[in-house]
Structure 1
């Protein structure tokens, strides 16, 4: 059993792949083996998490997730605890494995009840697991609400009940303190509503190798730190141009430019689109302010759109056609969403394989796709894949569990970050960091996923007694940035 923490690249498997793994393993092992292994793993983790708890409520659903709960209850009973099982199943309809575990639990003297115990110290959610085909209703919903209303912690078995394993979509869902994911890690635990619902994720493969099935996504790994060579110079680390900053919005452009500079770019040009913009940044005089049309975009790694307003639209044809590499954010994405000619230029970049990264938040992604924001959030992986394929650009779909998708099909989910990033300007900083990593020579998928990882890590490591602002974030130099 392993605790899942940021750092390592973990393969993530969708439900279809996990069902195939489960079927092959069940065919190769003695009957009932997987359920017994799962129940024992859950009981061990529950005991480790709550060693002094006496009363354990095990809420069991009608399927095999409930069977895992019966097995866990059996072990807790044998270890001197007081498990109380509520079961929403029917013996006449129960799967064979779950029925066998039900009989084992009864034979061990486990107490069964129609309602949750009045005072429980710890709970195990064994209601649905992968079996959630629709939004819970009736008794299932009542049990989910009771688990969420309790004052004690909940350990979800495999998945928080009600959470979609593939997408992280959740309508009515258990909010667990811990989740023990079984057999293979599911992408829904790490994006959308999954991060809040799952709490701390643990993993047990039940002694079954998952390499026989291709992963549907990967949990991003930490980038390796790359020390700078002594025999290098500013040109070794690339030139970034930040083209944005409409009247009244110069701050967004300066945040992106400062972020690129502090993230290791050799030189940074700030091309503000406000005609009244000052000729220099007094707080960061090493930024070079230029008129955007005086820049040789063919030699530059461009970030465009941060605080661009309507002023960014006229510059986009040349930027899309000429920029060496390109990060498109905010108002640049909004302009492209409403203009078929700009969309065609973006798609042309993809056809000639010019490195491009889109960094939409869900509303911007919805505009680009012609969908509702709720549709994007219902399946963030599918939305990011669709954008990447449609425009031939790496797509970094921001949010809880940022999704990074490449046109070739590879998908990564970022495991770092927290709600302290939910303030104005942090997206501008991220765009600057992506541009700096492109300038350093990273491929677009790596530049996007590494920047997202470090962006979130900076927030995770931010001192609790200090406010996180975009300005202070832009000046950070997290591990993974060249020295």
Structure 2
């Protein structure tokens, strides 16, 4: 495969740190010593030249371990290619791992300049301080070097992961250097994320690069498998790709009944807008018919979307419909949840429906019983709602997003979309997936209601595949913001207008 930019066109396997180590050890057992580090260093050198083609002075900040060895190997190549490679090295010969020591000698023999302090003037940098094996955040002079790198505004290539970052979880390591994490994640004054930050993931792609703080910390992500092929039938997770998420074209010989009925139940007094957003989204996402049962009443027609059909909640027939329940439901949603949980063949639960279930064991029992009756369920919690369902804290959910989503899916035998940066889609018995689309412009009121509505429409059309419906809905929802051209949020109502354009 070689060096490639991750562009999210196809679904790709994501491997944990432990699995990556196993792949590395298996490959090293039948390759000549030092081969993988040589390949990693060459790849890093090639990439830094590609992202900073006019850079003359390249500063390589190297740690004491094998991540530093990759940087030393890169420095050797850069020197051989006529670049001024300046290395600051946090190690020493006596304690250097064998592969890194070999690269150290190669760098010295090539005439690489080693310095006690970063060069005064430099054009690009390589962060090769700490890799995936780090258990502690950078300390001492490493902190100073990283501060210079992240505050410079110059191109920086991070080898395997940003130093101090956990490739499994997408979080900074415990006792993280908060000042560095803040600098690495910050948005510049022009409102655009730093386009000069790059991460080269080696041997495998790791899940933490794409969820939680991963996208902010990593910037543009590249990958090199180092020429090692490995089985992908047992990854920790999958990174969703556009090719697999595209919907099949509609058949000419079809009618509105071919695309399912969706019933949206929510919208307590003062919160009808949430239910209307979900209903409009379901209609624009392709549902054949959309019914609306407002818990707060007060509407018989939506003048902005007259296609929606309003019904009294008590008399709303749920048979054969995909139900989206909870958007703006308030406390009033509790009284309808027993019927919704027991009667809905296909169900999307969001917002206040999730909050009600989190505090009511009888509702939890009804939710768990749905799978035994072959009833399909998708939960769409944000981290706080997930924490309530799990009896934990938002911080705990965010610290282990893959685990939290999978735990919810297994506990309630359903499909779960844990929203946030790199939304996690989990279902019982399969590896979870991470959605790469969307950005912070979705961080505004109502966008979650839009996602619930899209889920309802896709679930109504998907037959018995709740997981695929959830994956497709999450992908499309994120893709609605388009390419990042502004720091302004995209209002939920604007998202709805874009759905049918895809």
TM-score range, shorter chain: over 0.9
Please list, as runs of the form range in 1=range in 2, the aligned pairs for 1:117-128 lying within 5 A after superposition: 117-128=119-130
Instruction: Report the CA distance between 1:298 and its aligned residue.
Output: 2.9
Q: Which residue of 1 aligns with 2:26?
A: 24
The DSSP-based 3-state class of the residue aligned with 1:423 is: coil
CA distance in 1, matches of 2:384, 2:371: 23
Please list, as runs of the form range in 1=range in 2, the aligned pairs for 1:60-459 lying within 5 A after superposition: 60-170=62-172, 171-172=176-177, 173=181, 177-211=197-231, 214-222=234-242, 223-275=245-297, 277-442=298-463, 443-459=465-481
CA distance in 1, matches of 2:411, 2:113: 56
Query: Kindly tell me: are residues 20 and 307 of structure 1, through their superposed partners in 2, closer, same or farther at Cα, counting changes over 3 Å?
Result: same
CA distance in 2, matches of 1:433, 1:357: 12
Instruction: State the 4+ residue runs in structure 1 displaced beyond 6 angstroms.
Output: none
TM-score (norm: length of structure 2): 0.93
Instruction: Report the CA distance between 1:142 and its aligned residue.
Output: 2.9
The DSSP-based 3-state class of the residue aligned with 1:274 is: coil
Q: Which residue of 2 aligns with 1:52?
A: 54
Instruction: Report the CA distance between 1:162 and its aligned residue.
Output: 1.2
Structure 1 residues not aligned, in runs of 5+: none
CA distance in 2, matches of 1:63, 1:416: 34
Deviates more, 1:132-141 or 1:107-116: 132-141
Per-residue CA shift, 1:67-112, capped at 9, x if unaligned? 0000100011111111111111122111100000001101111011
Q: Which residue of 2 aligns with 1:10?
A: 12
The DSSP-based 3-state class of the residue aligned with 2:323 is: strand
Contact 2:438 2:478 survives alignment (8 Å): yes
Contact 1:356 1:444 survives alignment (8 Å): yes
CA distance in 1, matches of 2:485, 2:101: 51
Contact 2:198 2:221 survives alignment (8 Å): yes
CA distance in 1, matches of 2:404, 2:232: 27
Please give the root-mean-square deviation of Cα atoms over the aligned residues, in Å.
1.6
Query: Kindly tell me: are residues 384 and 479 of structure 1, through their superposed partners in 2, closer, same or farther at Cα, counting changes over 3 Å?
Result: farther
Deviates more, 1:466-475 or 1:110-119: 466-475
Query: Kindly tell me: are residues 90 and 350 of structure 1, through their superposed partners in 2, closer, same or farther at Cα, counting changes over 3 Å?
Result: farther
Instruction: Report the CA distance between 1:476 and its aligned residue.
Output: 1.8
Contact 2:441 2:488 survives alignment (8 Å): no
CA distance in 2, matches of 1:139, 1:320: 57
The DSSP-based 3-state class of the residue aligned with 1:434 is: helix
Q: Which residue of 1 aligns with 2:189?
A: none
The DSSP-based 3-state class of the residue aligned with 1:131 is: coil
CA distance in 2, matches of 1:206, 1:306: 47
CA distance in 2, matches of 1:467, 1:309: 25
Instruction: Report the CA distance between 1:201 and its aligned residue.
Output: 0.5
